[in-house]
Amino acid sequence: MARWQPNAPQRLALAALELFEERGYDQTSVIDIAERAGLTKSTFFRHFRDKREVLFGGETMSDLVTAAIAGAPAAASPLEAVAAAMDAAGREAFTPERRDFSLRRRAVIAAHPELQERDALKGLAITAAMTTALERRGVAPLTATVTAQLASLAAAIAYERWSAPANTADYSTTARRALHEVRSAAAG
């Protein structure tokens, strides 16, 4: 769990990233990506609904935060529950081995409007998943929505800081710090 294994979705994502960097997003097809990863087109579509999705991991992150929020101790506050989701993201997705990939991924997304659009929509989908997961814990809808929004904002800030070249801190620490800052700004 803790170490990044080169399984199919990750091999496809890495192959796509390389190709997008080498020849550009528009000049890369799903078949090119599958071939580079040594996999088939149908394997690609088993994991991702389209070319854009390959850098966004399908439902992985939504599922991960949903499970972590559901699994937080019953006594945990809404904020503690989302912090637990950030710890899980650091353990299972944003591991030290993924930092270089994440930095390159950010650069590719920033260069392509259609990837920026998917990135934005993905962020909203993850926020919605967090909101639902908090409501299932009995958190009032408005508190769940606001907590999920602040957590998403903190996660975006943390991802940028964590994947920056000079960073040495792990994702979980970076994210908890960002959550604290966002929380203070919201209360202040």
**Rule CB under 8 A: is residue 185 a binding residue for a copy of itself?**
yes
Q: Out of 26, 111, 117, 164, which residue is the one contacting a copy of itself (CB under 8 A)? A: 117
E strands, the chain, are none
CB of 48 to a copy of itself, least distance (A): 18
Query: CA distances (Å), 58 to each of 12, 25, 82, 127, 179, in order?
Result: 12, 18, 20, 15, 25
CA dist 104 and 18 (Å) reads 9
CA dihedral of 11, 17, 19, 20, whole degrees rounded to 10: 150
Tokens of 139: 């958190």
Closest CA to 90 of 176, 153, 183, 181: 176
Q: Out of 10, 43, 149, 173, which residue is the one contacting a copy of itself (CB under 8 A)? A: 149
CA dist 124 and 121 (Å) reads 5
Q: What is the DSSP string of 134-172?
A: HHHTT--HHHHHHHHHHHHHHHHHHHHHHTSTT--S-HH
The window from 42-50, 67-75, 113-121, 169-177 that contacts a copy of itself (CB under 8 A) reads 113-121
The window from 39-47, 49-57, 94-102, 148-156 that contacts a copy of itself (CB under 8 A) reads 148-156
The window from 3-11, 49-57, 98-106, 179-187 that contacts a copy of itself (CB under 8 A) reads 179-187
Q: Out of 145, 160, 167, 176, which residue is the one contacting a copy of itself (CB under 8 A)? A: 145
**Rule CB under 8 A: is residue 143 a binding residue for a copy of itself?**
yes
CB of 110 to a copy of itself, least distance (A): 15
**Rule CB under 8 A: is residue 138 a binding residue for a copy of itself?**
no
List of residues contacting a copy of itself (CB under 8 A): 117, 120-121, 124, 140, 142-143, 145-147, 149-150, 153, 157, 181-182, 185-188
